[in-house]
Copies of this chain bind each other. A is one copy, B any other.
Amino acid sequence: MEGYLIATWKMAFEGVKKGQDLIRQGGTIHKAIMEAVKTVEDDPSYHSVGYGGLPNLEGEVELDAAYMDGDTLGFGAIMGVKNLKNPIEVAYDLCHYKRNCVLAAAGAEAYARKGGYPFSPMLTEEAEERYKAQEKNVDTEKLEAYGGHDTVCIIGRLGDTSACGVSTSGLFMKLPGRVGDSPIIGSGCYADSEVGAAAATGVGEDIMKGCLSFAIVEKIRAGIPVQQACEQALGEHIARLERSGHKPGSMSVIAMDRDHHVGAATNKKAFPFVVGTMDGETVLFAAVNEGGNMSVICPDEAWIQAYQGD
């Protein structure tokens, strides 16, 4: 399971393949991650990322994205942005600056327009229909990471460089302006080339409470193997939330250390993830959680058919 790229959810499969191709052709890890994220952003059949993402409580698609370069710890992020075709491009752009690296809403949109990034309507007919079919008196305290899929997170390692990119339309029916974990450094993702990188997907409010991505990277830094680092960070955080009487929402994590070892963990029953391996293959894996016991499987066709979600 050594890899160049690791990505959340089955939906990232085609993107990871394209990213692997770019690496083979001599592209940088940043180019590969960007291509992988953009492939998911552009696909209208995924309802949690970019074009086709499900809207907020007022029917508008609001997008969050972040990029972190583990060499410089440069971090760029945008949040609550409307009608921007590829949010990840602007996040990547911003990670090169020393100041003004995180921009919200209208300010982020103004920056993107000035930079010539393409804008287009992001609400598809299908997403609009799902919005119209949704009860308007939704309980916003019970919003969940929907339908078994959520943020696309791509982590890569090439040579001595670790990096990660994440993109999402956030929780369906969220309040306007709601910011999840994805554009929050250390929560949605974190990369330090001296150590590795980690990223998270699920209910952002719960992920943020434990700065999960940073917590995983710190465990790897301390010498804990990457799979254990994922399981321990998630497990300890869930236990902490439960001690305070809070029932945690869905949370899943991926990580890759500096030796390309990968790890994944989830508090759902199953969490599919994609690995682009060093020998050029792209492989679907799944973290399977049986009563708290985590195992990583390489699922067969029957498992994949039976899995509900992207």
The reply to whether B107 and A73 contact each other, CB–CB distance below 8 Å, is no
A300 to chain B, nearest CB (A): 36
Contacts of A186 in B (CB 8 A): 184, 186-187, 208, 211, 214
**In the assembled complex, which residues on chain B have CB atoms less than 8 Å from the CB atom of A209?**
73-75, 185
Cross-chain contact A176 with B106 (CB below 8 angstroms): yes
Q: How large is the interface on A (under 10, 10 to 19, 20 to 34, 35 or more residues)?
A: 35 or more
Question: Could you list which residues of chain A lie within 8 angstroms of chain B, going by C-beta atoms?
Answer: 71-75, 77, 79-80, 97-108, 110-111, 140-143, 171, 174-180, 184-187, 190, 192, 194, 203, 205, 208-211, 214-215, 218, 240-241, 243-246, 249
CB-CB nearest 6 A-B residue pairs:
A107-B177, A105-B105, A186-B211, A107-B176, A104-B104, A73-B209
Q: Which residues of B contact A74 (CB under 8 A)?
A: 209
Closest partner residue, chain B, to A247 (CB atom) = B98
For the complex with contacts A99-B203, A185-B211, 4 further pairs of A-B residues with Cβ separation under 8 Å are: A71-B244, A100-B205, A104-B104, A185-B209
A177 and B108 in contact (CB under 8 A), knowing A211-B186, A240-B192? yes
Q: Are A177 and B103 in contact (CB under 8 A)?
A: yes
Q: Is the CB of A102 within 8 A of B185?
A: no
Whole-angstrom distance between the Cβ of A136 and the nearest chain B Cβ: 16
CA distance A190 to B72 in the complex (A): 24
CB contact between A104 and one of B79, B100, B192, B211 (< 8 Å): that residue: B79
Bound Cα distance from A107 to B99, whole angstroms = 24
**A143 & B99 in contact (Cβ 8 Å cutoff):** yes
- Residues of chain B contacted by A205 (CB below 8 angstroms): 75, 97-102
